[in-house]
Amino acid sequence: MKSPGYTLIEMMIVLSIIGILATIAQPSFQKTLIRAKETSLRRSLFVMRDVIDQYYADHGRYPESLEVLVEERYLRAIPQDPFTKSSSTWITIPPEGEEGGVYDVKSGSDLVGLNGTPYNEW
């Protein structure tokens, strides 16, 4: 009398199929993760640049640092760069010939985006 259950060959075939499907899906999953991080970076840059412009409109000068935007409640907190995973790696660009320390903000990451441009040039 045979006992109910699966044979070793059946189990190996099922595991092989699962492994093949996982291998096929991984590159797509990785690309989706990068796209999500890029979207988060674009949104953070947009918000910080908008807040810098609002600060300039209110005070007639650019903020001295990103921390000033938090202190004056233009931002709740400095956002985290999704690629460097830190809120202290933002590259701040000073204004030319104007008062203040932060005219623009860029990512501190040295990685290159899916569109071929480095994140620190966005």
pLDDT, residue 1, reads: 63
pLDDT tens digits, residue range 17-62?
A: 999 999 998 888 999 999 999 999 999 999 999 999 999 999 999 9
Residue boundaries of the structural domains of the chain: 8-112
Give the pair of three-digit tokens for residue 99: 């008062």
Mean pLDDT across the chain, nearest whole number?
92
pLDDT at 105 over 70: yes
pTM of the model: 0.80
Report the distance separating Cα 112 and Cα 119, nearest Å. Answer: 6
